[in-house]
Amino acid sequence: MQTLEQLKKQLDSTEELQTVVKTMKSISAVSIHQYDQAVESLLRYHRNVERGFQVLLQSMHPAAFALEPSKDEHAGFIIFGSEQGMCGSFNEDIAEYVNEHMQDEKIQNSTLHGITLGPRLSSLMRDHPHIQIDWVYDLPSSVHTISDHVNELLIRIQEWRENTALSRIRLFFNHKLSGSSYEPHHQDILPLDPQWLERLSQKEWPTRCLPQHNMPLEQLSLALIREYLFISIYRSFAESMASENASRLAAMQAAEKNIQERMEDLQSRYNRTRQDSITSELLDIISGFEALQKEERS
């Protein structure tokens, strides 16, 4: 049976753990709000880029954006994981989702290359039988450093395409739903979606003043494609990191519930042990008093 001192130490350590969990919950909630705001701010930026494509498609056919056919089919996967732990099955969920989409890539006829973001995910994908992981990147520490990571990744993608002749690039990331829930998601960023381009080419301009441009078409198209890639990758970062914190928030909520139950159990055992100790001491006093009375009578 545990002593009062042992139970007291367990209670103190459990209270300290509860404080840590509450702190992590608060940090996760604040982080979710910041990353959600970053995703919302991209919507206006994305609309402006779409209008740029609308202007460009007045002079170019959507088919002009198709990549040149490659003799060997090479596909690139960019997979977003987590930098830190204590986020439930966040990394396992996206890894399983990638495996489910392997069939879409016709494994037997294609070479799959991968870039993983986050050391937690890289350990899961390192020994994957069908994906060759070419690079592993760290994740941004905050929403303010996402842009730097996106620009670095864009440079790497350009080198990647040149070295491996990739014909397709697909992003895999967890998409935040609401509260502390998320679901795995993917997006093809290269080649550009021909249906999306076709819709833009047929979309009416929102005002009567039609825009003009004086840049060469090739230069303008490359600039717009880069902006489109920047937005897509930035959104993937923000969505994934919001989902990571949502998963961590859910894990901390479950941990907080377990800790509270543990504290109630420890407090109950502490009170019971303390009462037993007090009762035992009282019985010892009564026994001693009765013994003294017998001695006096004798």
pLDDT in tens, the chain (298 residues): 678 788 888 888 888 888 888 888 888 888 888 999 999 889 889 999 999 999 888 888 887 776 655 555 688 999 999 988 888 899 999 999 998 887 655 554 567 899 999 988 888 888 777 888 899 999 998 899 999 999 999 999 999 988 888 888 999 999 998 777 899 999 999 989 889 999 998 888 888 887 887 888 888 899 999 999 999 999 999 999 999 999 888 888 888 889 888 888 888 888 888 887 888 777 777 777 677 777 777 6
- Show Cβ contacts of residue 106 under 8 Å, excluding neighbours closer than 6 positions: 73
Same domain for 63 and 136, yes or no, is yes
Q: What is the DSSP string of 122-147?
A: HHHHTT-SSEEEEEEEPPPSSGGGHH
Do 66 and 19 reside in the same domain of the chain? Answer: no
- The answer on 74 and 220 residing in a single domain is yes
Contact 12, 218 (CB under 8 A): no
Indicate the number of domains in the chain: 2
Do residues 177 and 212 share a domain? yes
Euclidean distance between CA atoms 112 and 200, whole angstroms: 31
16 shares its domain with 152 = no
Tell me, yes or no, whether 298 lies in a domain. Answer: no
Tell me the pTM: 0.83
- DSSP character at residue 145: G
- Evaluate whether 212 touches 245 at the Cβ level (below 8 Å): no
Same domain membership, residue 126 and residue 14: no
CA 131 to chain centre: 21
Specify whether 283 is located in the same domain as 241: no
In the 8-state DSSP scheme, what is residue 67?
P
Q: At what angle do helices 194-202 and 4-56 cross, to 10 degrees?
A: 50
Structural domain for 17, as ranges: 4-25+258-289
Is 279 within the bounds of a domain?
A: yes
* Alpha-carbon gap, residue 195 to 68, rounded angstroms: 18
CA angle 135, 138, 139 (to 5 degrees): 130
Residues 155 and 272 in one domain: no
Strands 168-176 and 182-190: antiparallel
